[in-house]
């Protein structure tokens, strides 16, 4: 029974993460194969000021911060991926927000880790306005953080609503228990 539980959990994590890695590596391959380093491409000229593709090398973190620290981020990627692999089966299945966030972050971390291990840098290619150049893996890591924050906010609101709906006696009892705990 326990083994089946782990297999289902890891199938989800590796399935979603694998799709992210595949999409990330495929898009990076297309950029490296079709654009010279630094070359910009956008088929509709008027969009170029807003969104464009550019072949760029990133030796830092997400969105190009902390340049020339690739080895540090390689180690961090291994740690993050290992932590997600370890903790993912422990997250209840009903906690879909946290599970989705972990899948997105896992896929993004592995996608960029592959680049760091095989090339020594990460290929970035999406440039929006004056924002830093990024890739599919970076976007998934960022979306994973956003999903996590949104999930925590929703959970907090639910808990506040549930506490507000408690009968008066239960709230007084809860408040009294909290006051007793402060004095200890």
- Measuring CA to CA, which residue among 115, 107, 58, 106 is closest to residue 83? 106
CA 90 to chain centre: 18
CA dist 6 and 11 (Å) reads 8
DSSP summary character for residue 33: H
CB 108 within 8 A of CB 61: no
Per-residue b or e along 129-160, where b marks 16 or more CB atoms closer than 10 Å to that residue's CB: eeebbbbbbbbbbbbbeebbeebeeeeeeeee
Just list the catalytic residues. Answer: 124, 138
Angle between helices 2-34 and 96-119 (to 10 degrees): 50
């Amino acid at each position: 029974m326990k083994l089946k539980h782990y297999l289902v959990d890891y199938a989800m994590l590796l399935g979603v993460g694998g799709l992210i890695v595949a999409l990330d590596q495929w898009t990076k391959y297309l950029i490296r194969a079709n654009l010279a380093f630094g070359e910009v491409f956008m088929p509709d000229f008027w969009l170029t000021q807003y969104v464009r593709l550019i072949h760029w090398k990133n030796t830092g973190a997400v969105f190009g911060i902390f340049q020339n620290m690739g080895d540090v981020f390689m180690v961090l990627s291994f740690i993050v991926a290992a932590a997600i692999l370890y903790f993912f089966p422990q997250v209840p299945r009903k906690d879909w927000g946290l599970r989705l966030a972990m899948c997105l972050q896992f896929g993004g971390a592995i996608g960029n880790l592959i680049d760091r291990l095989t090339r020594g840098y990460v290929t970035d290619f999406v440039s929006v306005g004056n924002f830093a150049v990024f890739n599919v893996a970076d976007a998934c890591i960022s979306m994973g953080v956003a999903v996590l924050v949104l999930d925590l906010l929703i959970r907090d609101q639910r808990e506040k609503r549930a506490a507000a709906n408690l009968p008066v006696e239960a709230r007084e009892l809860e408040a009294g228990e909290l006051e007793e705990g402060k004095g200890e």
